[in-house]
Every structure is written in structure tokens, then in C-alpha cells.
Amino acid sequence: MKAQSLAVVAASIAGASAHAIFQKLAVNGVDQGTSCIRLPQGPSANFPVTLVSSNDIRCNVGGSTGVSGVCSVPAGSTITVEMHPTYSAADQSCDVEAIGGAHHGPVQVYMQKVSDATTADGSGPWFKVYALGLISGYNPGTWGTDAMNANCGKVNIVVPSGLAPGNYLVRAEVIALHAAFQPNGAQFYITCYQINVTGGGSESPSGVLLPGAYNPTDPGIYWNLYTSFNSYPLPGPTVYTGGSGGSKTTTIQTTVSLKTMTTSATVRTTTPSSTTTKSTTTTTKATTTPSTTTKSITTQSTTTKTTTPLTTTRSTTTGGSGTGSPLYGQCGGIGWTGPTNCAQGTCTVSNAYFSQCL
Ligand SMILES: *[C@@H]1O[C@H](CO)[C@@H](O)[C@H](O)[C@H]1NC(C)=O
Ligand SMILES: [Cu+2]
């Protein structure tokens, strides 16, 4: 109770400046401009969605309407979604936190197969292709958002190499948990992208509906950051790891410099849609083991996920063809679960969060 009142006080101090927008897309490191991005519009563009029963939970306010462009994405390539507080050049600087204001929480990315990405309304099934939740610590701990901030707002995702080709919506999401100790307090920052997957295979992952997959009282949505915990259940389904299933072991090494943060609780009001579809939510178990602490805060965590009963174990490669990342593709970094070798070029460290085939 005390922690909650303190949080409420803290949350009322700052303005809307800590809100943020996913607003850029790169494919294998090449910026795609904005023509295939359903950018949130208007003075409330960077405000969160808070009602998970609203259709806005799909692609944000106004996001059911498409834009003209479709970005071509070879299956198996690395796409980068990028978040900043506003669209201004100053706020796109790496010196400005991608999402500030102690907006800690998971970063997740979903995809949905559609017949035409320029008109799709996001009502079909979504499968998850990326998730980074709690990395270490508690109260508030180090989260996917902190890793994203340390990587200048960039989040790198491997598009599963076996996906059936064609149009897809990509839905990037931050769930800020600073006010999630109360129902409908979690803040969803969402942007959808329109892509055309080329190459690939015939995989058609099953998915969940939005609204439907999230409930206001899901443990990962109704969550108190300001207490102790050692794991966090990611909302929604587990990450799709390729048609053969299998087990995935990810080792995360993190160095995050802490910055002073302010908090905001300004939210946009949205109208819930009349229909709410319930579906099953699977949570992911994660174990987080802190290790050595040096002058910078260094932690290591190991996450093991088992998605299907196994006879064989596959590790480190997710949805990859096994031939390695393409030229300019990602081949390593914190939170990276894709190929760590290069089909072309040499895997070169850019920073702790991004190694690239050059
Ligand atoms: C998607 O890619 C396929 C195959 O490369 C191409 O034939 C089709 O025109 C593309 N569709 C769009 C909408 O870009
Ligand atoms: Cu905010």
C-alpha cells in the first residue's frame, strides 16, 4: 500500500514527455522510411492504450486504417523496430531515452498473416516472434525497455525463416508497468507495420486474437513493479520458434547504465469495443540469476523455454535456417536469439546489444 501511494505520487509529477512511439523500421540494417508504418497521429500520438478490451490494443488508436506502403522483408532476415518519445529529430537522438519516465516493462513483437497489409484491420490471429521481459532485479528491476533504451530505441527481431510468404502485419509493443499495480494501469505502446515476406517456406503459426489474449487481471498486466520478484510472466503466447518446435536456451548478458528517470501517468481514454473474445494465455517461465556486480551494473540471466515435448534439443538458433545471418543482418547481442554466425561477412560487435555481419 505504501509503495502504491508513493508510486501514485511519483506518477503524477511529470508530464507526458515520457510517453513514446515505435516509429521506424529497418530490414537487415537498411532503413525503410515510414511509408509502411501505421504511425500514430495527432497530439496524443505517443499516448498509451490502457484498455485491453479495446480494438485499439491491436494497432493503437487509428491503427486499424492502413497506409499505402508495404515493406519487403526476406524470410529469415532481421528487422529492427525503433522507439522514441516523439517524432522530433531531437527526441530521436540516442541521448534521449527511447521510453523514459521509469516506464519499465516487456517489449514484445507479434505478426499476423493477412491478405493485404494495406487494408488489414488486425482482427486475425497474432503470433509472437519476440519477447524480452524481466532481465534481472526487482523494484523495479531491469527490463526489456531498459535494454531497448540502451540500444538507442532499437529492437532486433528475426523473421522466422520458414514463414509462408505474403503480406503480414507486424505489431511492436511495449507494456509499461509503472502504474500496473492497479487494473487497467498497464500502458501499451503499440505500432503496426505492413510487410511482405518473400522467400520462406510454408509455416503458418497459430495465433491469438486481440482483443482477447490479454485480460486486465493477467498476472503480467496487473503487476506491481515496486516490490520484490524473481520472475515475470509475459502476457500472451510463447514466442514462435519455428515449425519443428523444440527447446530454446538463451543466455543474456546485460550491462545497463542507470539514468535518472521521471514518471508520467498521463493516459488517453479509449472506448472499449463491445465484443471481447477470450482465449488461452500461456505464460513463459523465466529464471533470473544475478551474477557479479561491478562498477557498471552487470547481470547475467539464463532463460530456458520448452515449447513442445522433445526428443531432440535445439539451442541458440531460433527460426533460423542454420546458414547464418545475411550481410548486414544481426548475429549477436543481448536478447538476441537468432543466428550467431554469418552466411556472408564477419560477425562484428557494434555494441552490447547488436552485432552485425559486415
Ligand atoms: C510480395 O512479394 C511477392 C513475391 O516476391 C510479389 O510477387 C508480390 O507482388 C509482393 N506483394 C506486395 C504487396 O508487395
Ligand atoms: Cu508515458
The predicted-structure confidence for 279-331, as pLDDT tens digits, reads as follows: 333 333 333 333 333 233 333 333 333 333 322 222 333 333 447 877 767 78
- Reported as a pLDDT band with limits 50, 70 and 90, residue 354 is low
- Decide: 49 and 60 in contact? Cβ < 8 Å: yes
35 Cβ inside 6 Å of ligand 1: no
Please check the confidence at residue 257 and state whether its pLDDT lies above 60: no
Query: If you average pLDDT over residues 45-59, what whole number do you get?
Result: 98
184 Cβ inside 6 Å of ligand 1: no
Tally Cβ neighbours within 10 Å of residue 12. Answer: 11
- Whole-number pLDDT of residue 319: 36
70 Cβ inside 6 Å of ligand 1: yes
Please tell me the number of the ligand nearest to residue 19's CA: 2
**Residue among 27, 68, 168, 196 whose CB has most ligand 1 atoms within 8 A, to mutate:** 196
75 Cβ inside 6 Å of ligand 1: no
Tally Cβ neighbours within 10 Å of residue 83. Answer: 26
- Reported as a pLDDT band with limits 50, 70 and 90, residue 103 is very high
Q: Report the atom number in ligand 1 closest to the C-alpha of 72.
A: 14
292 Cα to the center of ligand 1, angstroms: 49
**Which amino acid type is present at position 16?**
A
Query: If you average pLDDT over residues 111-132, what whole number do you get?
Result: 98
Main-chain dihedrals φ then ψ at residue 3, nearest 5 degrees = -60, -40
Query: If you average pLDDT over residues 257-272, what whole number do you get?
Result: 38
* Beta strand 298-306 pairing with 78-84: unpaired
176 Cα to the center of ligand 2, angstroms: 8
Question: Of residues 18 and 159, which shows the higher confidence score?
Answer: 159
Total residues belonging to the chain: 358
Residue with cell 497530439: 43
Residue with cell 486481440: 210
Q: Which long-range contacts (CB under 8 A, 24 or more apart) does 340-343 make?
A: 340/316
Please check the confidence at residue 177 and state whether its pLDDT lies above 90: yes
Please tell me the number of the ligand nearest to residue 98's CA: 2
Question: Of residues 332 and 274, which shows the higher confidence score?
Answer: 332
Query: If you average pLDDT over residues 19-43, what whole number do you get?
Result: 98
Based on its alpha-carbon atoms, the radius of gyration of the chain, rounded to whole angstroms, reads 19
74 Cα to the center of ligand 1, angstroms: 11
Main-chain dihedrals φ then ψ at residue 248, nearest 5 degrees = -125, 130
119 Cβ inside 6 Å of ligand 1: no
Please tell me the number of the ligand nearest to residue 267's CA: 2
Using CA positions, which residue lies closest to atom 4 of ligand 1? 198
Using CA positions, which residue lies closest to atom 11 of ligand 1? 196
- State the distance between the two ends of the chain, measured CA to CA, in whole angstroms: 52
Q: Report the atom number in ligand 1 closest to the C-alpha of 166.
A: 1
- Decide: 190 and 63 in contact? Cβ < 8 Å: yes
Using CA positions, which residue lies closest to atom 3 of ligand 1? 198
- Whole-number pLDDT of residue 351: 67
Q: Determine which of 45-54, 209-218, 241-250 has the lowest per-residue pLDDT on average.
A: 241-250
- Indicate the average pLDDT of the chain: 79
Using CA positions, which residue lies closest to atom 5 of ligand 1? 198
Question: Of residues 138 and 262, which shows the higher confidence score?
Answer: 138
Q: Among 288, 350, 7, which residue's Cα sits nearest to residue 156?
A: 350
Please tell me the number of the ligand nearest to residue 185's CA: 2
- Decide: 44 and 56 in contact? Cβ < 8 Å: no
Q: What percent of the chain has pLDDT over 90?
A: 62
Main-chain dihedrals φ then ψ at residue 47, nearest 5 degrees = -80, 155
Query: If you average pLDDT over residues 125-137, what whole number do you get?
Result: 98
198 Cβ inside 6 Å of ligand 1: yes
266 Cα to the center of ligand 2, angstroms: 6
Range ranked top by mean pLDDT from 14-18, 177-181, 257-261, 320-324: 177-181
Has this prediction a pTM greater than 0.85?
no
CA dist 292 to 229, 296, 300, 342, Å? Answer: 19, 10, 8, 31
196 Cβ inside 6 Å of ligand 1: yes
- Cis, peptide link before residue 211, omega less than 30° from 0: yes
